[in-house]
Amino acid sequence: MRIIVSIKGVPKPETVKVDPETHALRRESAELILNPFDRSALEMAARLKEKYNAEVIAISMGPPNVIPLLREAYSICADRIILLSDRAFAGADTLVTSRVLAQAIKKLAPFDLVLMGLKSADGETAQVPPETAAILGIPSIINVKNLSFEGGKVIALRETEYGLEELEAEPPIVVSLYPKLDYFRPPSFKRLLEIRNIEPEIWSAKDLELNEEKLGLSGSPTRVLGVFEKKFAEKGEIWEGEPEELAKRLINLLKEKGFLKA
């Protein structure tokens, strides 16, 4: 059994900058962390690996600063780690990202499962898993809580507003996972020792035999026209200072507004 886990590096909250021209996130300069939603994909891959002795391959599209996250994937369960990296990929929207991932996944065939997080913590579109499946021409099931194999079929359990739903599919399929599993394993110490001597494979656009015109910003139909901070009409105030001083100020305000008797 072969499982491919696709992970993403997302900017650490509060370290992210937005490109003023393209309005895309500047990933190459940000401090990257593993997309928190992808932890479910890695945990599920580790569980399936234990249960079915599966081979796990972790892939990620991104700049070289994603490599530590692929190493993290190795330390949890991946047997092989592959970085999909090329200047031509920069500025990719979900369609182009899915195109690159699908091409890499095709090269890794035969496979049984592609696991991804439900969505990314930066873009939050949740489009990449089903888009990748569509390009590969295989089914996808999203927001899955548990996975098993029975008689050559994948059994996926997911929670809906109507209750638990059990779906059955013929592999290979793409699955995005429910973010809150009951348990996430830490890295394995043995694997942390091994990873010191392992470098990820790096696949470029050329390696993937992809036409550069269909990649990056130019290949992406999505145009972000603007990025702005949502302003609320009734703005809350934040007071800073010494507790005694702030308490006095609050009492005065409450008196002023008539909530406290003077």
- We find the least distance from the C-beta atom of residue 72 to another protein, in angstroms, to be 11
**The one among 186, 226, 236, 258 contacting another protein by CB under 8 A:** 186
| Token couple for 207 | 């390696």
Using CA atoms, how far apart are residues 84 and 79, in angstroms rounded to an integer? 17
CB 58 within 8 A of CB 78: yes
Stretch that binds another protein, among 85-93, 142-150, 188-196, 247-255 (CB under 8 A): 188-196
> β-pairing, 80-84 with 55-61?
parallel
Q: What count of other Cβ atoms lies within 10 Å of the Cβ of residue 122? A: 16
Instruction: Calculate helix-pair angle for 94-107, 128-136, nearest 10 degrees.
Output: 50
The answer to whether the bond into 64 is cis (omega within 30° of 0) is no
**The one among 185, 206, 248, 255 contacting another protein by CB under 8 A:** 185
Stretch that binds another protein, among 19-27, 92-100, 189-197, 207-215 (CB under 8 A): 189-197
Stretch that binds another protein, among 112-120, 145-153, 186-194, 251-259 (CB under 8 A): 186-194
- We find the least distance from the C-beta atom of residue 59 to another protein, in angstroms, to be 23
- We find the least distance from the C-beta atom of residue 245 to another protein, in angstroms, to be 15
Using CA atoms, how far apart are residues 245 and 149, in angstroms rounded to an integer? 63
> Which positions from 191 to 220 touch another protein by CB under 8 A, shown as an x/- string?
xxx--x------------------------
Interface ranges with another protein (CB under 8 A): 183, 185-193, 196
